[in-house]
Amino acid sequence: MDFRNWMIWFVFMVCLLRCGWRFLNWIWLTPKKLEKCLREQGFAGNSYRLYSGDLKDLVAMSEEAKSKPMNFSHDIAPRVIPSIHHTIEKYGKNSFVWLGPIPRVFIMDPEQLKAALSLYNDFQKPTINPLVKLLFDGLINHEGEKWVKHRKIVNHAFHFEKLKVSTNKVQQ
């Protein structure tokens, strides 16, 4: 009986250590590793803060922007997306913010953006709930070669001449 209790206790401790390691990896080690990689690639931003990242600052900036009256100008970025505007002003065109333990990267250089978007196999879409996938199957859910094939099919519907004709019909 003593050996059996010892084994149960041992298995419980191993499971507890494994869960603890996975939590530590998710909450601290992986974000710090990502931060180091981003900084090596020339991106700038706030250092990672445990669990919430920059979320508190982003919410505070948004509330502050909404509380002030809006200026009459075409520069609406400080009002509509104050957090992104502040990050780009402070850290430059290649910057990042933390949404919890996940970094959000801002690339404003057209050449770098073109290079990043051309690698559609390397940058995967976030995983979608299987129920949503079952109910709404379309271009948004597809990836890889299937996305390219469907995009080519749908692309013809959005040519400028066809859009002009459809807008005229809608206005009538």
pLDDT of residue 1: 60
Q: CA distances (Å), 144 to each of 101, 124, 134, 140, in order? A: 27, 9, 19, 12
Sheet of 44-45, strand order:
44-45, 94-99, 102-107
Tokens for 2, please give them: 């003593």
pLDDT along the chain (172 residues), means of 10: 85 94 94 95 92 87 87 83 91 92 90 82 73 77 81 79 72 69
Rounded CA-CA distance 126/53 in Å is 19
pLDDT of residue 139: 73
Residue 37: which residues within 8 A CB-CB, separation 6 or more? Answer: none
pLDDT of residue 120: 67
Residue 71: which residues within 8 A CB-CB, separation 6 or more? Answer: 79
Rounded CA-CA distance 42/92 in Å is 10
pLDDT of residue 26: 92
pLDDT of residue 164: 74
Tokens for 151, please give them: 């995009």
Q: Which residues pair with 32 in a beta bridge?
A: none
Q: Enter the DSSP assignment of 138.
A: S
Query: Concatenated DSSP letters for 58-103?
Result: HHHHHHHHHHSPPPSSS--HHHHSHHHHHHHHHH-SEEEEEETTEE
pLDDT of residue 172: 67
pLDDT of residue 30: 94
Q: Whole-prediction pTM value? A: 0.69
pLDDT of residue 131: 80
What are the structural domain ranges in the chain? Answer: 1-108, 119-172
